[in-house]
Amino acid sequence: MKPIFVAIDTPDLNGAKQIAEAVRDHAGGLKLGLEFFAANGPEGIRQMGALGLPIFLDLKLHDIPNTVAKAVEALAPLRPAILTVHAAGGREMLRAAKAACPAETKVVAVTLLTSLDTGDLDDLGIRRSPADQVTHFAWIARDSGVDGIVCSGAEVRQAKTAWPEGFFVVPGIRPAGADVADQKRVVTPSVALQDGASILVIGRPITGAADPKQAIMDIGKGLDQAPAELRI
């Protein structure tokens, strides 16, 4: 599996297609989230899927179990490779989401957004460190039968220790020297893989580049030069 999923966060369907065409030979898939889905809906997802890359549908579903199950059933015809729900929805919601999903779709639970840090957790009344909070949610996700979690590269090593067979989606990836923008807990691609990431979600360093194809190729070269045991 090619480890890089390109996050295409735009409402512009034509622009999204252009980026996808540019990276298609070097990406493992495309991550499409709320911004894209709100503008283009299921038909936009179908059109992006027709380009031939696996689709990671990042909608972060979070509601009562029945509502989430019905939403997953409605999304099932799109056959996403990966679908996100929020771990904070609890065990019953996670079980309902997995039960409603097509067998080929991995359900992964979002643990802690990469825009949050210890201070934000304090504001929310959570006294755990980010790493401990992610690990706590990893246990819940594992016991609920979903396939894995979404966590930052700063916590993936500890989470993988808690759940060795889990599938770990790591966003907030930034090549060395790149602008971190609104992300707070970032790591480089090679460090994320070394620490246990299954796939890397990379957006702006690729989609915001003057040449997205060259940008993903440069990141891929860095991974190719990593020790063999770090590659997927």
Which parts of 50-155 fold into alpha helices (H)?
65-75, 91-100, 118-123, 130-144
Tracing tokens 């252009």 back to the chain, one arrives at 18
Query: CA angle, corner 184, sides to 168 and 214, nearest 5?
Result: 70
DSSP designation for 57: E
Taking a C-beta distance cutoff of 8 angstroms, is the pair 92, 84 a contact?
no
What is the distance between the alpha carbons of residues 134 and 209, in angstroms, rounded to a whole number?
A: 31
- Cβ atoms of residues 151 and 134 within 8 Å: yes
145: region left, alpha or beta (phi > 0 left; psi from -120 to 50 alpha): left
- Judge whether 37 and 49 are in contact, CB under 8 Å: no
Q: Catalytic pick from 2, 60, 184, 213?
A: 60
Active site annotation includes 60: yes
Phi, psi of 144 (to 5 degrees): -90, -10
Q: Which residues are catalytic?
A: 60
